[in-house]
């Protein structure tokens, strides 16, 4: 049975999660950034002394990690239902065990996971710059034009710009961009970050500016920046064309990540 942790259990919790820091980026990053003194996030362990499974709720999202698959799928399903979860996420082995209790009619999405420990030589570009809060509006306006992101959410520039400004100001996220005529024509950013690794996301080039190496340039510069800080770049991807860019830069596949949407029937 899972037990909710408190501050006194954080050393044990973090030591357990950091045994697999790449897979547990979201766990580690959320705990480091938000702590436990809030009402939108809780963490549970199956054993407060020698854990083998961890569960994290962040608002309507639920994450599960296990190193020995000893958890009860029915117990996890209870958490999904109790917290009216929008998205349940986990690695491939955990998902295989959870499938026995998940509704097959609901939407499931899987992504390949890759990480970089060393960057390969790439064609850098003097056009790439590190974004500042002043670039937030242009970033959001360009994001609105990327059809590949349409399934994730609709972006309202007026609502989103202050959020992006705040994240850039506090270094909660880093964006590397290429600008032309006041527009952001290419972007790569961190979408989650911890003391040991960072998730790369938001990679795009405006449709009319593609096939010029801009995506490689912004991702390469961002990864170089992270590696200099001893932070491992991590990413999820589905697009085979994007995969070729990432592999060329030095990313190596290390598994799959699954997302289950209980309300999608």
Q: What is the DSSP string of 117-163?
A: SSPPP----TTEEE--GGGHHHHHHHHTT-GGGTTT----HHHHHHH
Residue 109, beta-bridge partner list: 259
In a domain, 121, yes or no: no
- Which of 7, 265, 101 is closest to 90 using CA atoms? 101
The count of structural domains within the chain is 2
Q: Are residues 73 and 146 in the same domain?
A: no
In a domain, 113, yes or no: no
In a domain, 263, yes or no: no
> Residue 231 belongs to a domain with what CATH number?
3.40.630.30
For residue range 200-240, list pLDDT tens digits in order: 999 999 999 999 999 999 999 999 999 999 999 999 888 77
User: Which residues, in sequence order, are CB contacts of 205 under 8 Å at separation 6+?
Assistant: 185, 186, 212, 214, 215
Q: Are residues 27 and 97 in the same domain?
A: yes
Q: Are residues 65 and 181 in the same domain?
A: no
Provide the pairing of β-strand 175-180 with 128-130: antiparallel
For residue range 45-63, list pLDDT tens digits in order: 999 999 999 999 999 999 9
Q: Are residues 53 and 154 in the same domain?
A: no
In a domain, 133, yes or no: yes
Residue 168 has a pLDDT of: 96
Q: Are residues 149 and 252 in the same domain?
A: yes
For residue 153, the enclosing domain spans 128-256
Residue 150 has a pLDDT of: 64
Q: Are residues 134 and 92 in the same domain?
A: no
Query: Can you read off the two tokens belonging to residue 170?
Result: 């506090």
Residue 245 has a pLDDT of: 87
Q: Are residues 76 and 153 in the same domain?
A: no
Q: Are residues 221 and 138 in the same domain?
A: yes
In a domain, 63, yes or no: yes
Residue 4 has a pLDDT of: 97
Q: Which of 53, 87, 102 is the last residue of a domain?
A: 102
Whole-angstrom distance, CA of residue 125 vs CA of residue 131? 15
Query: Can you read off the two tokens belonging to residue 245?
Result: 């860019």
For residue range 130-177, list pLDDT tens digits in order: 999 999 999 999 998 888 776 555 568 898 899 999 999 999 899 999
Q: What is the mean pLDDT of residues 187-212?
A: 94
Residue 25 has a pLDDT of: 94
Q: Are residues 95 and 151 in the same domain?
A: no
Q: Which residue has the tokens 């702590």?
A: 35
For residue range 69-116, list pLDDT tens digits in order: 999 999 999 999 999 999 999 999 999 999 999 999 999 999 999 999
The pLDDT > 90 percentage for the chain reads 86
In a domain, 264, yes or no: no
Q: Are residues 30 and 144 in the same domain?
A: no
DSSP string for residues in 32-100 = HHH-SSSSSEEEEES-SSS-SEEEEEETTEEEEEESS--S-HHHHHHHHHHTT-SEEEEEHHHHHHHTT
In a domain, 112, yes or no: no
Q: Are residues 144 and 65 in the same domain?
A: no
In a domain, 123, yes or no: no
Residue 154 has a pLDDT of: 54
3-state secondary structure of 5: coil
Residue 56, beta-bridge partner list: 43, 63
Phi-psi region of 203 (alpha: psi -120 to 50; beta: other; left: phi over 0): beta
Q: Are residues 155 and 241 in the same domain?
A: yes
The predicted model scores a pTM of 0.86
């Amino acid at each position: 049975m899972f037990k909710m942790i408190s501050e006194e259990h954080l050393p044990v919790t973090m030591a357990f999660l950091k045994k697999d820091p790449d897979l547990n980026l979201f766990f580690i990053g959320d705990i480091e950034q938000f702590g436990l003194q809030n009402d939108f996030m809780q963490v549970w362990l199956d054993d407060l002394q020698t854990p083998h499974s961890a569960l994290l709720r962040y608002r309507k999202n639920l994450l599960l990690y296990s190193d020995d698959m000893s958890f009860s799928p029915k117990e996890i399903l209870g958490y999904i239902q109790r917290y009216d979860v929008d998205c349940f996420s986990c690695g491939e082995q955990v998902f295989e065990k959870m499938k026995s209790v998940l509704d097959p009619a609901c939407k499931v999405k899987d992504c390949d996971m890759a990480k970089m420990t060393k960057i390969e030589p790439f064609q850098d570009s003097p056009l790439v710059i590190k974004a500042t809060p002043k670039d937030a509006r242009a970033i959001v306006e360009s994001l609105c034009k990327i059809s590949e992101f349409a399934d994730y959410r609709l972006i309202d520039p007026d609502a989103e710009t202050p959020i992006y400004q705040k994240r850039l100001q506090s270094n909660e996220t880093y964006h590397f961009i290429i600008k032309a005529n006041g527009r952001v024509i290419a972007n790569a950013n961190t979408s989650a970050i911890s003391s040991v690794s960072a998730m790369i996301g938001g990679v795009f080039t405006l449709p009319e500016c593609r096939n010029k190496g801009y995506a490689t340039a912004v991702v390469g510069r961002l990864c170089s920046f992270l590696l200099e800080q001893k932070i491992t770049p991590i990413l999820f991807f589905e697009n085979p064309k994007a995969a070729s860019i990432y592999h060329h830069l030095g990313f190596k596949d290390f598994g799959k990540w699954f997302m289950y949407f209980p309300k999608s029937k």
